[in-house]
Amino acid sequence: MIDPSSINQIVDLAHIEDVVGEYVNLKRSGSRYKGNCPFHDEKTPSFVVTPGMGIYKCFGCQKGGNVIQFVMDIENLSFTESARFLAKKYGIDLIETNIGNSDASMEQQREKESLQALNDFALSFFQDQLIQAEEGRTMALPYFRERGYTQKSIDFWKVGYSPASWTAFYNHAKSKGYSDEVLLKAGLIKQRDKDGGFYDLFRNRVIFPLVAVNGKVIGFAGRVMSKVDKAPKYVNSPETLLYKKSDFLYALSQSKSEIRKNDKVYLMEGYTDVMTLQQAGIGNVAASSGTALTPGQIRIVKRFTSNVSVIYDGDIAGMKASLRGIDLLLEQDLNVRVIPLPEGQDPDSYCKELGSEGFQEYLKHNEQNFIVFKAELLLTEASNDPLRKSEVVSDILGSLSLINDKIKREILLQELQSICDIPIQTLYTELGKIDRKNRQKDSEKNISQELSLLKQAEATINEFSDPNTEVLSDVHQERALIRMIMLHGNKPVGTEELTITEFILQELDDDANASFQLMHEPYTLILEFVKLYYSNNQCAPEAVDFAKHSNPAISKFAAEIYSTEHTLSSAFIDNLISVKTEDDNYPKELIDIFLNLRRTKIEEMILEEQKKLVDPEENDSEVLQVLDYLIILRKQIADQIGAVTARL
């Protein structure tokens, strides 16, 4: 467990707009920042960062919290891991104890830390083998030198070498105390079925470290050095707790600042492609590591820019196979351009052939919009075959239908018309048909999502409800009560010179009739925090106290409450219509909350007493007396509003 004083330091020093800004392309909107949520697909920004309170909130997927919660969400880390990550980044000394961590979370945290330590150890080993060991200097270093890479580039990309011996790394790791279990989990060794022995995965290969956006080494890729070697060209780390292939783009960690600066990224396939372009002065680069683009990779790109230029190797078959990636980019509402290279060339080879300035000029003058590229690529094959041409045009219109911007659509549709020589009205008609089909699919998808959300809501209600009763839990009233404290806690109420917080705390203590207590987290946690804060300060916590609280459950709920803004339509003012806002109406709302809470509690108590009537050990007479009293109380609940109102 991390001491609260350390947590306070982190949330004070780690400015949330800076931390989030490393993952999300934020744009200022008044006193806040907005951007596309990094946690789910969206085309219209619904992700809001509020620097003054140190919180973020997505109104689409509902994720929210303070800066520690954001790191937990974005990096899939535990609370402790996230705090350590930020503490290291901002030079904060943490005060920690071992109290309060569950066995399961501690175990996963230890495993992640072990894997990270082992990857760092392996990185150092591979680098030393390339530069310091005789085998690396004679076998592997020439591979990089012959391809024109300077020592500066070799150091920048932290490339290395794994020796030809079957167990060079394994023996070295074992000598330093690493277990077979963690070596296997990290994917750095494999086990033979024949005799159960172990051997190195990356044997006799140059090594490319796979570095996550946060700068940590999460895996490795090994490449054979000889074209005559019959082994697979590349071997990659398997997926681990640290490395998920579909959510990783090579070089993004090293290139993100240049991508932001240029508001554009060049996407390609290979590790050496990226290295060569970076050395040539083109730093806004990333690679899909030889695989087709995935939605996860595209979401990462979108954090840093909306402009993507895909550089295709000069291989027609490869270009066709990669066209699906364009549609995925369009679905994420990115601006897509394409740069095809001459036949037989890749970014690495062609950049070296043209030189730095020549290659940059080539990129500038050969960039095409995706419609021109796709049409020229596919229509050439269709030739004079009308059926094939019809299929190609429908395919291109399918890509166009993914674009929401009407102006962009119109311009691209006109370009398609000039290329394929089909009447523009015909293209409009076909595009309309595709749009209708897409809307139908979206509608079915939305219905499915809504049903899923209903099931989740039902599960939540069941979790908060007594399975032996027919009355729903009062979780919604508890939420409303805590929300009242957080929004209006220090405002005056009634004629007794009480604040909202004081009134609520007194009511909770005095409400003997309904045995009133909060039952559900995070509301119980927040109430305890409010009580403690009030006893020390004689007032309710301010918004920032909730938002920057060390307990992520509290800060997350605070982000939900404080990130929501409701603005009264100007039509009411223009038409001289007087409407009470929440700031005016909170006393009435407070009454409603308590009445609903009491009603629910009384209903629960009535059901409990009714159960006793079938219990032979219970005194029916006494039970009936209690039931009569509760039923009268239930009937009189409307009168209670007068009692509460009198105090207000």
Q: Which CATH number belongs to the domain containing residue 255 in this structure?
A: 3.40.1360.10
100-127 pLDDT, tens digit per residue, is: 555 565 677 788 889 999 999 999 999 9
Give a yes or no: residue 373 inside a domain.
no
Of 12-21, 160-169, 546-555, 591-600, the one with minimum mean pLDDT is 591-600
**Statement: residue 591 has pLDDT above 60:** yes
Q: Flag the least confident range among 50-64, 198-212, 429-443, 498-512.
A: 498-512
**What is the tens place of the pLDDT at every residue in 320-353?**
777 888 888 888 888 999 999 998 899 999 999 9
Whether residue 169 is predicted with pLDDT greater than 60 in this model: the reply is yes
Average pLDDT over residues 195-205: 93
Q: pLDDT confidence of 165, banded at 50, 70, 90? A: very high
Choose between 220 and 417: higher pLDDT: 220
Instruction: Tell me, yes or no, if the pTM score tops 0.85.
Output: no
Per the domain annotation, does 372 fall within a domain?
Answer: no
Average pLDDT of the segment spanning 585-598:
67
Q: Is there a single domain that holds both residue 72 and residue 89?
A: yes
Residue 304 lies in a domain: yes
Domain check: are 191 and 222 in the same one? yes
464 pLDDT above the threshold of 70: no
Considering the domain architecture, whether residues 35 and 167 belong to the same structural domain is answered as no
Q: Which residues contact 180 (CB under 8 A, 6 or more apart)?
A: 174, 189, 198
What is the pLDDT at residue 463? 43
Q: Is the pLDDT of residue 496 over 80?
A: no
Do 248 and 362 belong to one domain?
A: yes
Q: How far lies 367's CA from each of 88, 370, 380, 475, in Å?
A: 42, 9, 19, 57
SS3 content of the chain, % helix, strand, coil (to 5): 55, 10, 30
Task: Return the higher-pLDDT residue of 217 and 509.
Answer: 217
Average pLDDT of span 220-247 = 88
Which of 287-296, 414-423, 562-571 has the lowest average pLDDT?
562-571
Mean predicted confidence (pLDDT) in 619-630: 71
Single residue among 417, 443, 464 that ends a domain in this structure: 464
121, 146: one domain:
yes
Q: Quick one: pLDDT at residue 286?
A: 95
Number of folded domains that form the chain? 5
Is residue 548 domain-shared with residue 628, that is, in the same domain?
yes
pLDDT for 607 equals 77
Please check whether residues 629 and 531 belong to one and the same domain: yes
Give a yes or no: residue 169 inside a domain: yes
Query: Dihedral sign, CA of 155, 157, 161, 167?
Result: positive
Please give the average per-residue pLDDT across 502-517, as a whole number.
64
- 375 within some domain: no
User: Within a domain: residue 313?
Assistant: yes
Q: Are 504 and 595 found together in one domain?
A: yes
Same domain membership, residue 505 and residue 459: no
Whole-number pLDDT of residue 380: 74
CATH number at residue 146: 3.90.980.10
DSSP state of 473: P
pLDDT at position 443, please?
63
In a domain, 470, yes or no: no
pLDDT in tens, 425-446: 888 888 888 888 877 776 666 5
pLDDT at 181 over 90: yes
Pair (295, 402) in one structural domain:
no
Q: Mean pLDDT throughout 402-410?
A: 84
Please identify, among 211, 243, 275, the residue that sits at the C-terminal boundary of a domain: 243
Find the domain containing 433 and state its range: 384-464
Which CATH number fits the domain that encloses residue 84?
Answer: 3.90.580.10
Residue 400 has pLDDT above 80, yes or no: yes
Q: Which long-range contacts (CB under 8 A, 24 or more apart) does 538-544 make?
A: 539/489, 539/490, 539/499, 539/501, 540/485, 540/489, 540/490, 540/499, 540/500, 540/501, 541/489, 542/490, 543/53, 543/486, 544/52, 544/53, 544/54
489 and 626 share a domain?
yes
Q: 301 and 257, same structural domain?
A: yes
Which range (99-103, 211-215, 606-610) has the least confidence?
Answer: 99-103
Mean pLDDT of the chain: 80
Which of 54, 74, 101 delimits the end of a domain? 101
pLDDT at site 126: 97
Q: Is residue 172 within 8 Å of 188, Cβ to Cβ?
A: no
The reported pLDDT for the residue numbered 618 is 67
The structure tokens listed for 262 are 């240029």
557 band by pLDDT with thresholds 50, 70 and 90 = confident
Of the given ranges (170-174, 259-263, 404-408, 626-630), which has the lowest mean pLDDT? 626-630
In the numeric block, the tokens 């309060």 are attached to: 100
Would you say residue 379 lies in a domain? no
Which is higher by pLDDT, 258 or 95? 258
